[in-house]
Amino acid sequence: MNFFEQQHQARRKTTQLVNLMILSVLALIVLTSLPFVYTGFEDYLNGTGSLRDALMAMAVIASLISGVVVIGGLLKYRELRAGGKVVAEKLGGRLINDNARSLDEQRLMNVVEEMAIASGTITPAVYLLPDETINAFAAGLTPENAAIGVTQGAVRLLTREELQAVIAHEFSHIFNGDMRLNTQMVAVVHGLLVLGLTGAYILASQLKIESGKKRDLRMVLLGMFIGLVLCAAGFAGNFFANLIKAGVSRQREFLADASAVQFTRNPQSIVGALKKIGGQGSSIRAARAGEFSHLYFSAGVSNPLSRLFATHPNLSERIRRIDPQWDGNFAPAQAGSSPQV
Amino acid sequence: MKIYIVVNLVLLGLLALYAVHLFNSLVARRNEIKNAFAQVEVQLKRRYDLIPNLVAVAKGYLAHERETLEAVISARNAAVVGLAAAQAKPGNAQHIAELGQADAALSSAVGRLNLTLEAYPELKASQNMQQLSEELSSTENKVSFARQAFNDAVMAYNTLKQSFPAVLLAASFGHRDDAVPLKFADTLAIKSAPTVSL
């Protein structure tokens, strides 16, 4: 399979997953509002109420619920909208545009400029991260405020061609608008979490026993019911939305690998970089690394629930997609490193 | 009768909209080609500016290799003239072909110089030389990536103006000739059989 076909396949799977996400959020909202309007539909079926009333009630409840999700999502989106430079500085990066201190840094800048020409985008801000492992990331919602970060280890351990492939991979994330897509998905996931938290809050406030106050048992039960439904829907939705989000993220990695081959026309360079990561590890130490895990070249934070929630596909699978004849051996790890895939 | 006129007017309007859209797309694509070619020129210029530095650094070590150095300098000067001619008349196929030849001659002269440099490890290890060869190889890459982008732009333009129904209108909009993809050193290299010396 050539790289154009691989890109096409990754794009098609992304579309399917995003559609699945939209459909499931809509279905979740409808399902959540059903218990509240149950009586309305019962009245209609018994002939005592009209269908219009039942649908109206449903619309009101559904818009209340989606309101909570949308507000939660928008809050998170606003927080994440910060440009790539902010992300790079949070991860401890140092800007090296026009400020290269060594031959290695100048080489990195040159490679970035080459890839900007190859992909037809403008040269982004380039940051060097202090980590000795091999990794890189791209951040920022538009090409204009994008930033690329590369670890010290990547600059030191990769050959010029391999570094070029890693940078081309990051340019693909900028070029294909992956940061925007990912931020939107994070916002949806967060909106569902807020829904669940709202439910949990209502539930907890009903359970709190206040002495000296007599309360209507039916009201308490109703409140608990509302809280329980919102809580279950929110947390279940959050769980599945996270699964879908991770699936999309993995497809975008395949897309970026295939685009790296397109920009460099050199499949062996990206395979070489991936093999070295297999031997050397790619973890990023910065305290806030987890927040930005979807941006990295290779998994920056290990995830206990691993495969289902992984933002990056398995290294071996990524290598095999580009080089089906691979024998399964990573480049030898260097002394003092902890291999982490 | 009235309906007939209305339908015709709507159809005419749609046709006019398509013509405007096509005209604008053709202009945009042609400007993309010009921009991509300007990028190639910028990178070639940079390459020609770097070569005197390479010669200056190498001179101190290569006292008895004057011929090689002079060949590089004269090939570089010829390429600069070719680039100036191509810039004066953008899109002229003959000038582009000449520039391609001059650039190929320069590449082979620099290649010979690099081979000579292999015999001088202390020169290769010097800080100046390392920086210079990094800059040179980066510029070579930029030239080839800029050519890749130029040829992609040419392909997009030609595909647009040759497809139906654009092909009926393109000529009357002033887009008569197909754009020509760049043929540079590689084309010559591919045509000549590889030589291996042991």
Q: Residue A300 has what pLDDT?
A: 62
Q: Residue A290 has what pLDDT?
A: 65
Contact A159, A181 (CB under 8 A): no
Q: Which domain holds residue B90?
A: 2-190
pLDDT confidence of B23, banded at 50, 70, 90? very high
**A113 and B138 in contact by Cβ < 8 A?**
yes
Q: Within a domain: residue B18?
A: yes
- pLDDT digits 0-9 by tens, A56-78: 888 888 888 888 888 988 888 88
The average pLDDT across B29-33 equals 88
> Which residue do the tokens 């992984």 mark?
A310
In this structure, what CATH number is given to the domain that contains residue B161?
Answer: 1.20.1440.20
Q: Torsion over CA of A53, A54, A56 and A58, rounded to 10 degrees?
A: 160
Q: pLDDT: is B61 or B15 the higher one?
A: B15
Q: Within a domain: residue B108?
A: yes
Best B31, B142, B144, B152 residue to mutate vs chain A (most A CBs within 10 Å) = B142
Q: Which of A4-8, A183-187, B33-37, B177-181 has the lowest mean pLDDT?
A: B177-181
Q: Within a domain: residue B197?
A: no
For chain B, what is the mean pLDDT?
83
Please state, as a whole number, how many other Cβ atoms lie within 10 Å of the Cβ of residue B41. 18
Q: Within a domain: residue B186?
A: yes
Separation of alpha carbons A17 and A115, rounded Å: 29
Number of domains in chain A: 1
Q: Write the residue in A106, A107, A114 that is nearest to B145 by C-beta.
A: A114
Q: With a cut of 50, which residues of chain A have pLDDT below it?
A: 333-341
Q: Within a domain: residue B38?
A: yes
Q: Which residues pair with A128 in a beta bridge?
A: A94, A150
Q: Residue A150 has what pLDDT?
A: 93
Enter the tokens of residue B68: 């090689």
Q: Residue A210 has what pLDDT?
A: 60
- DSSP reduced 3-state for B188: helix
Number of domains in chain B: 1
* E strands in chain B: none
Amino acid at residue number A272: G
Output DSSP code: residue A137.
E
Contact A202, A227 (CB under 8 A): yes
Q: Which domain holds residue A39?
A: 1-341
Contacts for A35 with CB less than 8 Å, ≥ 6 apart? A225, A229
Residues of B in contact with A159 (CB under 8 A): none
- pLDDT digits 0-9 by tens, B49-100: 888 888 888 887 777 778 888 888 899 999 898 888 887 776 667 787 788 8
Q: Within a domain: residue B195?
A: no
Contact A178, A158 (CB under 8 A): no
Q: Within a domain: residue B198?
A: no
User: Smallest CA–CA separation between A175 and chain B, in Å?
Assistant: 15
Residues of A in contact with B142 (CB under 8 A): 113-114, 117
The interface pTM score, or ipTM, of the predicted complex is 0.71
Q: Residue A248 has what pLDDT?
A: 92
The average pLDDT across B36-55 equals 87
Q: Residue A112 has what pLDDT?
A: 94
Residues of A in contact with B150 (CB under 8 A): none
Contact A100, A106 (CB under 8 A): yes
| Residue B19, pLDDT above cutoff 90 | yes
Contacts for A269 with CB less than 8 Å, ≥ 6 apart? A159, A161, A162, A164, A165
> Which residue do the tokens 């919602």 mark?
A141
Q: Residue A294 has what pLDDT?
A: 67
Separation of alpha carbons A315 and A292, rounded Å: 19
pTM (2 decimals)? 0.79
- pLDDT digits 0-9 by tens, A244-297: 998 999 999 999 999 999 888 888 999 999 888 887 777 776 666 666 666 777
B146 has a chain A CB within 8 A of its CB? yes
Separation of alpha carbons B26 and B156, rounded Å: 10
* E strands in chain A: 94-95, 125-129, 136-139, 147-151
**A107 and B138 in contact by Cβ < 8 A?**
yes
Amino acid at residue number A268: Q
- pLDDT digits 0-9 by tens, B98-133: 888 888 888 888 888 888 888 888 877 788 888 888
Angle at A1 (CA atoms; ends A253, A20), nearest 5 degrees: 45
Q: Within a domain: residue B148?
A: yes
